Amino acid sequence: MIAKLSLLLAVGLTVAANPQATPLQPQHSVLRAFLQGDTSRLADFAEASKREFAERNVDLKIVRSDEPYDFNFVVVQESSIAGAAGAVVVLDHKGLFVASVVRSGRMSGKGALNASAKELAKKLVVLNGQQ
């Protein structure tokens, strides 16, 4: 019992002295993605995705098609008088389906892709067991 208390006290003191060392802090991971699509808003989607993944402690690296990657994000976006829609289909490095998201009814194409990036980050983090 005293040994357990000593260990708990030592861990507690280590955490108090160095908050970065907390055993409850989630692991930071890197996800490498190839990004493609038929929209001129790919750069907007890339930035929104990096931000959304970073909020979930994942560093999203956008890579070229000839570099190794974990996922292939295929992005489409359409706008009409009724509003804008964005969709993302995610394939793994073998080309197999992993996930998809669709967001519609937004005021702009950028807004639709921002919403898609947010939902995609939530889905992939859960699918990868990050949270």
Tell me, yes or no, whether 10 lies in a domain: no
Residue 50 lies in a domain: yes
Among residues 37, 58, 63, 41, which one has the least CA distance to residue 113? 41
CATH for 37: 3.40.50.10070
Percent of the chain clearing pLDDT 90 (strictly above): 60
Averaged pLDDT, 22-51: 83
For residues 12-41, give the mean pLDDT.
66
**pTM of the predicted model as reported, rounded to 2 decimal places:** 0.75
Tokens representing residue 58 in the block: 């994942």
Query: What pLDDT was estimated at residue 40?
Result: 86
Domain that holds residue 40: 26-127
Q: What angle do CA 84, 85, 88 make, to 5 degrees?
A: 150
**In total, how many domains does the chain have?**
1
Average pLDDT over residues 18-34: 65
Q: Is residue 20 part of a domain?
A: no
Q: Evaluate whether residue 3 is within a structural domain.
A: no
Q: Is residue 17 part of a domain?
A: no
Per residue in 57-113, pLDDT (tens digit) is 999 999 999 999 999 999 999 888 889 999 999 999 999 999 999 998 888 888 899
